[in-house]
Amino acid sequence: MSAKHVEKVDSANIKDSENETDDISNSTTVPSATPTETPSENAPADFDKAIEAAGFGCFNLILLLVAIPAQCAAIFESSVMSYILPVAECDLHLTLTDKGILNATGYAGMIVSAIAWGYLADTKGRQKILYSGYLIDAICVLGSALSQNFWMLVVFKFLGGLVVNGPAAVLFTYLTEMHGPKHRSSVLMVVGMVTSVATVALPLLAWAVFPRDWDFQIFGYLDIHSWQIYLLICGLPSLISGLLFIIMPESPRFLMAQGRNEEALKAFQTIYHYNTRKPKESYPIKTLIQEVPNRKANKDEVIYTIEEKTELPDTTETQTSKKQSRTLLESLRAGLQQMKPLFHKPLLLMSLRCYTMQFCIFLGMNTIRLWLPQLFASMAEYEALYAGQDVSASMCKVLEFSVNRTAETTTNYETKCSEPLHISMDMYTNNIIVSATGFVGYFFAGAIMRALGPKRLMIYGLFLSGTLGITLHFSVSSLMTLIVSATFLTITGIAVSSLLGAVVALFPTQLRTVVVAIAMMCGRFGALSGNLLFPVFIQIGCLPPFIMVSSVLLFSGVLSIFLPNPAKATFS
């Protein structure tokens, strides 16, 4: 299939590109006004006109405030394990392989549940997924906090990843569907900043909790330690966001796409009331454009779509004659038909490159990111043990020291864990600095992208990240490790953003959501693979784990050369 033909299909069968972030079915297409229509106040409004009439103000501020704990919950779920590994080593009798499994298990749950959550979001609605998903995740985190052994913790972390993947993905869709084109990019930028803040919050919480002597029993048989208190605190964002989303309205974009215009109009009126402090009845839009036959919400409904996108007279006969719903099998068949261009030129090779790059980048970035707390803890312990001696804390010596010390947990547990664990403050401060560097780098990413262009930024970033990955092996001190790792994670994070931006620009609108979803699934599989392989390679030698990280990033850099320039993309 030629690019010209893809563009033709794209413009004929999809909604306006300003709604490209709507993660919903084909029923979201907004019918165009016929040439005979004349604009008037009482004319049916499309989504963009309706949301613009609702204004921007207090409601949107409330929505962003609710999004803060929601986004923190997602980041905490995927990253919290890396901070408890040095502290829970004795309590859970952890080996290096066990630590890799704990880092990876949340990603395993996310991979398994990705498709199911996407289907549920399009059938049950955004708000239901958000409040139910976060509340269930809070229960999973509580289970993790009460875990008494390794396998119990693995099960609850897997369930946590399984559950949080739904609301975490739907959150972005919900936010974009609550804003018009004018404010969408700004809202997503704010969410990106929240992500950076959440990353910094994790080591800050560890700094506040882990040094406390919190060892006690509840109910006479459940042993509670400081790392379990830490997990419990990290579950509060899930609980708070779940409770807050109960009182939030359903996405009017979703309701309109489902033919539930009456409910959508009420949602617009609520937004209007909070933004303007005026009565709901004074909302200027009285009717919404009829995307599908108007109806009420059905119980346990499947995806609601229609075959034709043109408006017909609103009569009982017309609505009866239309196919008002699809079975699950029909919906899947229609979805596969829509994805057909991905299996033909020119999109097939390009999509495979993007999936491979996402897998490799996440493998390299998240392997280092999730093992850094353990590396910094081992460095701090190594430097304290050899304080005053002329011994350098090189990466190879620290890794060898870490492997030997962890092995003592299983071979000589009584001696290794007889004394209270002491972790140097350097472990916390180093992780805080690394996270804060990423936060600062986020502010400069936009200016750098404008100066270099998205493709050059991606290519340079990936080759530099690959170089820094192997440089970590030659680190001779904790300070050098801190500087190199902070720079590595910041640049790699910017490269990830560049790749996702390229995906949005390079693929036709009706395929962007599915390509991004598949790319994220590949990325999570990469993160899982890297965290399982890293402890295996560490036990082989000092160099292999860093060769793994560096090689996959350099390979991604090579693939990025062959991607079309997103700035000159012909798809819309």
Instruction: Say if residue 307 is exposed, middle or buried (CB neighbours under 10 Å; 0-12, 13-18, 19+).
Output: exposed
User: pLDDT at residue 320 above 70?
Assistant: no
Domain finish residue from 313, 339, 365:
339
The residue whose two tokens read 């489902």 is: 258
* Domain membership flag for residue 369: yes
Q: What is d(CA 180, CA 271) in angstroms, rounded to the nearest whole number?
A: 12
Q: What percent of the chain has pLDDT over 70?
A: 78
Is the pLDDT at 304 greater than 50, yes or no? Answer: no
Angle 498-67-266 from CA coordinates, rounded to 5°: 115
Does one domain contain both 546 and 529?
yes
* Domain assignment present for 227: no
Question: Are 277 and 401 within one domain?
Answer: no
Same domain, 330 and 448: no
pLDDT of residue 335: 58
If you average pLDDT over residues 486-497, what whole number do you get? 88
Per the structure block, which two tokens stand in for 376? 């910094």
| Statement to judge: residues 269 and 405 lie in one domain | no
Predicted confidence at residue 28, as pLDDT, reads 37
The least confident of 88-102, 106-120, 495-509, 526-540 is 495-509
Domain that holds residue 272: 41-54+250-339
pLDDT band at 329, cuts 50/70/90?
low
Q: Look at residue 567 in the predicted model and tell me its pLDDT.
A: 67
Kindly report the pTM of this predicted structure.
Answer: 0.75
The answer to whether residue 468 sits within a structural domain is yes
Do 457 and 390 belong to one domain? Answer: yes
The pLDDT tens digits of the residues spanning 284-298 come to 888 888 776 665 655
Looking at the structure, do residues 415 and 562 belong to the same domain, yes or no?
yes
Average pLDDT of the segment spanning 557-564: 89
Mean pLDDT (whole number) for 455-459: 86
Least confident of 292-306, 367-381, 426-440, 510-524: 292-306
Q: Is 19 within the bounds of a domain?
A: no
What is the pLDDT of the chain when averaged over all its residues? 79
Query: Which of 137-146, 186-195, 247-256 holds the top average pLDDT?
Result: 137-146
Q: Look at residue 42 in the predicted model and tell me its pLDDT.
A: 65
Per-residue pLDDT, 12: 38
pLDDT, position 396? 86
Q: Could you tell me if residue 504 is inside a domain?
A: yes
From 339, 371, 386, the end of a domain falls on 339
The per-residue pLDDT for 29 is 37
Q: Pick the more confident residue, 81 or 306.
A: 81
Number of domains composing the chain:
2
Whether pLDDT at 314 is above 50: no
pLDDT confidence bin for 87, thresholds 50/70/90:
confident
Tell me the average pLDDT across 543-554: 94
What's the rounded mean pLDDT across residues 447-462?
83
- The confidence score (pLDDT) of residue 235 equals 93
Query: Quick one: average pLDDT of 152-181?
Result: 87
Q: Which of 279, 305, 339 is the last residue of a domain?
A: 339
416 and 483 part of one domain: yes
d(CA 475, CA 472): 5
The predicted pLDDT at position 221 comes to 82
Dist CA 276 CA 263 (whole Å) = 20
* Percent of the chain surpassing pLDDT 90: 26
CATH of the domain at 568: 1.20.1250.20
CB 394 within 8 A of CB 475: yes
> How far is Cα 116 from Cα 494, in angstroms, rounded to an integer?
29
Question: Six-digit token pair at 500?
Answer: 């996702």
In a domain, 352, yes or no: yes
**Contact call for residues 557 and 360 (beta carbons, < 8 A):** no
**pLDDT one-digit tens code per residue, 110-157:** 888 877 776 777 677 888 889 999 999 999 999 999 999 999 999 999
Q: What's the pLDDT score for residue 65? A: 92
Tell which wins on pLDDT, 466 or 220.
466
Cα–Cα nearest to 20, from 229, 177, 196, 201: 177
The better pLDDT of the pair 351, 321 is held by 351
pLDDT at residue 533, rounded to an integer: 93
- 94 in the Ramachandran plot: left (φ > 0), alpha (ψ -120 to 50) or beta? beta
Does one domain contain both 375 and 297?
A: no
pLDDT digits (tens, 9 = 90+) for 197-207: 888 899 999 98
What pLDDT score does 553 carry?
95
175 in any annotated domain: no
Shared domain for 525 and 540, answered yes or no, is yes
Q: Do 484 and 438 belong together in one domain? A: yes
Q: Which of 114, 506, 552 is nearest to 348 (CA)?
A: 506
Instruction: Using CA atoms of 139, 141, 142, 145 in order, give the dihedral in degrees to the nearest 10.
Output: 170
Q: Which pLDDT score, from 0 to 100, does residue 569 have? A: 54
Q: In this predicted model, which residue has the larger pLDDT, 313 or 252?
A: 252
Give domain status of residue 496, yes or no: yes
Same domain, yes or no, for 301 and 375? Answer: no
Alpha helices in 210-327 (DSSP H): 226-234, 236-246, 252-257, 261-276, 316-321
Greatest mean pLDDT range, 179-193, 274-288, 413-427: 274-288
Asked whether residue 447 falls in the same domain as residue 412, the answer is yes
Where residue 44 falls among pLDDT bands split at 50, 70, 90? confident
Grade residue 545 by pLDDT with cuts at 50, 70 and 90: very high
pLDDT confidence of residue 337: 61
Question: Residue 40 pLDDT more than 60?
Answer: no
pLDDT for 299 beyond 70 = no
